[in-house]
């Protein structure tokens, strides 16, 4: 491992970088606990200060005072589409192409089912869903659940690394289902090239943007992608378990209705007709009644991104991850740490994963000392870097604490147990 | 229509009944807006005062301060099962048989799919789902969506009234899917008899308890039911769009995994295995990450029901609806109102629906005067009665305002537009 020579080599240089940082003012808009360096915004984003007032508004005024009237007067009915429009620019989508609703798992089921139906009409022999074995597990579970439900030869083909995708997408392949930035390694795939590869072979693409939206620039339309889902509670700071999002290419979205055909996706949701008629456009991917308090808070994070320059976010993300890698390699030299995340910028998301035989103990020891990252089997300490509220001095301090932990040997004492953070 | 002679005939008698009401203290635990008589708790329950503090706790402390650690330290991971255990006694279920999660529509998809799989193994020729045409539309949409996805001859057979069920459940029937209390008419079905009828004919039952849980006594186990779903934001006062619930008979729940097989239903959710292994028991019906702020508030309503005697709730519900019917029939005599809801107690839920040619205008005029009910096509004014926060004097006052509206003729001026409350 070779350090990047352009990275700061003193804490003072880091403080100076923070002072010059155009994104620094956003930090004050977050409520961060004292004494914590939070490097787990890739699992659960920090709380925008505005979220507390928004939750109180929903609970006390909209629910408590407005009661049922708030469906109209407080705009509850429009939330999934209005928030979708706010989110769209962050993923290279147009207006009226995105909805915020349900969970990533449920949305993945909807778009996978829709994609298989499109293929069922176009090329019914295509019954294979190709994905990576290292994809986020719930994505694989959902694909398995759908294939098991459909039977009729639908199956999942998993490759061991992105290099295997080329060989795996064949004339039997209906869908290439990938996560853009891998949750464990932080590796970012080339959406444009892989979408083109899939299309050349007659397959459709489903992209999971859980670790991409708000973390790296995403250009769904420019990449020619077909379907995408993603998460609002990681880099978008929507709140714990906040509803997810879903995008469908305008060229595909009116082709079929998805099977979770609930009232919110009906062409006339208040007419109470006994027969389902899908709404035009992406609204047909809505299903049941959404958790209003949780979904309303999604706006607080999106409102910040509307004022942030995504190019500046990406530049700072790369600078922070470069700095972290460089400092780990210089300050923690001699310890058996291995960089899991790709070093090349174009292959790196907004996280750094390090392998260490005692990875679990290291993460526990860091958390005890106020540096919150998380652990993923086997041996991977995972650190997310969120440019809106993480600074260069935070990175310096985190690495110094990591060095202290490693030098002290206290990480060897942690008892291993699998239980913990999500995603 | 003949009035019930035992009902109060003066406001003073109503006030006296409120004074004697053992459930009256619960009213103070709700935050109700001034100047409003809220008869729409069957659509969105009123706000427990405790919900505001609970939301603030989740947002400010658990999210803001605890961050990712709250999955364990604040018990987020256990919420669906813990809340399910609190809810279970209200629907005649045992411990570890209920989960609170997702939406009613999504949960219905899960249990219908599971029921069809059970039948697919037992009696594969059974491919018909029987339901009522007047069932809540989203239930029919979900069944249609599942049947369309499965193809292979799966279809929906709708009957025009409960009387048609006997004829419709045949040797081709996989599932009898019914809503226990009809959202529009308030008619309650005989769960025990209809479950026995279905079982005699080889069909499984799926019950939607959206208008039953917290409204009427429900005895799923005693009735021998197979699957049930329902809503927490109506009579259970869980908050707008709060996650729904799901119950599976212990004899069936380990038979198959449901197709929305997300990480939260995995046997080892944090082991991140690429293959899905369903959790034992009802937990396999969990799917993706839940909206924590919204789901956490469900506890505030359930905590009240844990202290309320459900027999007292039912007795007061019947007394309130009897009173409403009697007062409408005496005080509003001469106006063309027709009682849609069954008069017999054993066939009545906790609402009263009235037909009037100008039903829409009546509901709008009432809302303008602070009496909140809602409208359902065609011509139905719908009024829900929630014994924990609605009193006898409220009923008296609501009927007097209804009489004023009808006598003044102002209800004829409202411009009709379909848009409004949900469910």
Burial of B344 (0-12, 13-18, 19+ CB in 10 A): exposed
Condensed to tens digits (0 to 9), the pLDDT of residues B236-247 reads: 999 999 999 999
Q: What is the tally of helices (H) and strands (E) in chain A?
A: 14, 15
* Whether B9 contacts B399, CB under 8 Å: no
The predicted model scores a pTM of: 0.96
* DSSP assignment letter at A60: I
CA distance B2 to chain A (A): 31
Q: What is the C-alpha separation between B334 and B108, in angstroms, rounded?
A: 43
Which of A369, A357, A332 has its CA nearest to residue A416?
A357
Give the per-residue pLDDT at B421: 43
Half-sphere exposure of B88 (CA within 13 A, CB side): 20
Give the per-residue pLDDT at A67: 97
Burial of B269 (0-12, 13-18, 19+ CB in 10 A): buried
The band of B187, judged by pLDDT with boundaries at 50, 70 and 90, is very high
- Asked if the Cβ–Cβ distance from A51 to B63 is below 8 Å, we say yes
Considering the domain A75-306 in this protein, what is its CATH number?
3.40.640.10
The band of A414, judged by pLDDT with boundaries at 50, 70 and 90, is low
User: Where along chain A do its domains lie?
Assistant: 11-48+309-416, 75-306
* Whether A254 contacts A281, CB under 8 Å: yes
Task: Nearest chain A residue to B263 by CA: give it.
Answer: A138
Give the per-residue pLDDT at A55: 98
B124 touches chain A (CB under 8 A): no
B353 touches chain A (CB under 8 A): no
Give the closest of B65, B372, B418 to A33, CB-based. B65
Condensed to tens digits (0 to 9), the pLDDT of residues A151-188 reads: 999 999 999 999 999 999 999 999 999 999 999 999 99
Burial of B193 (0-12, 13-18, 19+ CB in 10 A): exposed
CB atoms within 10 A of CB A345: 12
pLDDT beyond 70 at A423: no
Find where tokens 């301060």 sit: B65
CA distance B184 to chain A (A): 10
Task: Nearest chain A residue to B36 by CA: give it.
Answer: A65
Q: Which residues of B are annotated as a binding site for pyridoxal 5'-phosphate?
A: 104-105, 136-139, 179, 208, 211, 233, 263, 289
**Furthest C-alpha separation in chain B:** 69
Tell me what the mean pLDDT of segment B111-117 comes to: 97
pLDDT beyond 90 at B254: no
B150 touches chain A (CB under 8 A): yes
CB atoms within 10 A of CB B159: 19
Condensed to tens digits (0 to 9), the pLDDT of residues B138-182 reads: 999 999 999 999 999 999 999 999 999 999 999 999 999 999 999
ipTM of the complex: 0.96
Instruction: Specify whether domain B11-48+309-416 bears CATH 1.20.1050.40.
Output: no
Half-sphere exposure of B134 (CA within 13 A, CB side): 19
Tell me what the mean pLDDT of segment A207-212 comes to: 98
A285 labeled binding residue: no
Q: What is the C-alpha separation between A201 and B14, in angstroms, rounded?
A: 74
Catalytic residue among B110, B184, B234, B253: B234
A47 touches chain B (CB under 8 A): yes
Condensed to tens digits (0 to 9), the pLDDT of residues A101-157 reads: 999 999 999 999 999 999 999 999 999 999 999 999 999 999 999 999 999 999 999
Give the per-residue pLDDT at A416: 53
- Asked if the Cβ–Cβ distance from B72 to A420 is below 8 Å, we say yes
Which of A192, A136, A186, A228 has its CA nearest to residue A324?
A186
Give the per-residue pLDDT at A5: 55
Contact list in B for residue A69 (CB cut-off 8 A) is 367, 372
Give the per-residue pLDDT at A6: 72
A409 touches chain B (CB under 8 A): no
Give the per-residue pLDDT at B34: 96
């Amino acid at each position: 491992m070779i350090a990047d020579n352009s990275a700061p080599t003193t804490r003072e240089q880091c403080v100076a970088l923070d002072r010059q940082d155009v994104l620094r003012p956003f930090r004050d808009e977050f409520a961060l606990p004292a004494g914590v360096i939070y490097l787990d915004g890739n699992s659960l984003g920090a709380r925008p200060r505005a979220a507390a007032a928004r939750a109180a508004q929903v609970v006390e005024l909209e629910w408590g005072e407005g009661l049922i009237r708030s469906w109209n007067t407080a705009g509850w009915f429009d939330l999934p589409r209005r928030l979708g429009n706010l989110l769209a620019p962050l993923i290279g989508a147009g207006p009226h192409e995105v909805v915020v609703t349900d969970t990533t798992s449920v949305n993945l089921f909807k778009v996978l089912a829709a994609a298989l139906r499109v293929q069922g009409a176009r090329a019914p022999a295509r019954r294979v869903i190709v994905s990576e074995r290292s994809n986020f597990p719930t994505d694989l579970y959902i694909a398995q659940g759908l294939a098991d439900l459909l039977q009729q030869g639908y199956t999942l083909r998993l490759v061991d690394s992105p290099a295997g995708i080329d060989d795996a997408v064949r004339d039997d392949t209906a869908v290439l289902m990938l996560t853009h930035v891998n949750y464990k390694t932080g590796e970012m795939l080339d959406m444009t090239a892989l979408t083109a590869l899939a299309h050349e072979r007659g397959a459709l693409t489903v992209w999971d943007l859980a670790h991409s939206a708000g973390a790296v620039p995403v250009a769904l339309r420019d990449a020619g992608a077909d379907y995408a889902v993603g998460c609002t509670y990681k880099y978008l700071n929507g709140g714990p378990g906040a509803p997810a999002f879903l995008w469908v290419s305008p060229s595909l979205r009116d082709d079929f209705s998805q099977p979770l055909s609930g009232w919110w996706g009906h062409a006339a949701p208040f007419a109470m007709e006994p027969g389902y008629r899908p709404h035009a456009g992406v609204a047909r991917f809505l299903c049941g009644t959404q958790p209003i308090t949780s979904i309303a808070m999604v706006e607080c994070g999106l409102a910040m991104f509307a004022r942030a320059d995504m190019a500046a976010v990406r530049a700072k993300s790369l600078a922070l991850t470069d700095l972290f890698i460089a400092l780990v390699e210089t300050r923690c030299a001699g310890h058996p740490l291995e960089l899991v995340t790709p070093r090349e910028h174009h292959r790196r998301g907004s996280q750094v994963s390090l392998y260490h035989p005692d990875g679990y103990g290291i993460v526990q020891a860091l958390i005890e000392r106020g540096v919150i990252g998380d652990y993923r089997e086997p041996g991977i300490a995972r650190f997310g870097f969120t440019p809106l509220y993480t600074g260069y001095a935070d990175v310096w301090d985190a690495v110094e604490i990591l060095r202290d932990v490693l030098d002290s040997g206290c990480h060897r004492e942690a008892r291993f147990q699998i239980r913990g953070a999500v995603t």
